[in-house]
Structure 1
Amino acid sequence: MEFRAKTVAESRVETVHIIRPTDLNDAGRLFGGVLMQWIDEVAALVAKRHSQMNVTTASVDNLRFLQGAFQRDVIVIIGRVTHVGNTSMEVKVETYVEHTNGKRDLINRAFLTEIGLGDDNRPAILPRLILETEEDRKEWERAEMRRNLRAKQRKEGFHFYGE
Structure 2
Amino acid sequence: MIESTMSEPLFRTRKIISYPDLNAAGKLFGGTALAWIDEESAIFASCVLGNSHLVTVHMSEINFKSPGELGEIVEIGTKLVKVGKTSITVSCQIRHKATKQDIITVDKVVFVSIDDKGNPLEHGYQGE
TM-score (norm 2): 0.84
Q: Quick one: which of 87, 102, 111 aligns to 1:106?
A: 102
**Within the alignment, does 1:52 sit opposite 2:50 as a pair?**
yes
Aligned CA-pair RMSD: 2.2
Structure 2 residues not aligned, in runs of 5+: none
Q: Flag the structure with more relative contact order, 1 or 2, with Cα contacts below 8 A and sequence separation at least 6.
A: 2
* Aligned match of 2:33: 35
C-alpha separation between the residues in 2 aligned to 1:48 and 1:121? 16
Matched residues, percent identical? 25
* Aligned match of 1:121: 118
Larger Rg belongs to: 1
Structure 1 residues not aligned, in runs of 5+: 1-6, 131-163
* Aligned match of 1:80: 79
Q: May I ask how many residue pairs the two structures share in their alignment?
A: 120
One-letter code aligned to 1:40? D
Point out 4+ residue stretches in structure 1 off by more than 4 angstroms.
Answer: none
**Are 2:11 and 2:75, in contact at CA under 8 Å, matched by a contact in 1?**
no
| 1:114 alignment partner, SS class | strand
Q: Which one has the bigger strand percentage?
A: 2
Could you tell me how far 1:117 is from its partner in structure 2? 1.9
Superposed, 1:62-81 pairs within 5 Å as 62-81=61-80
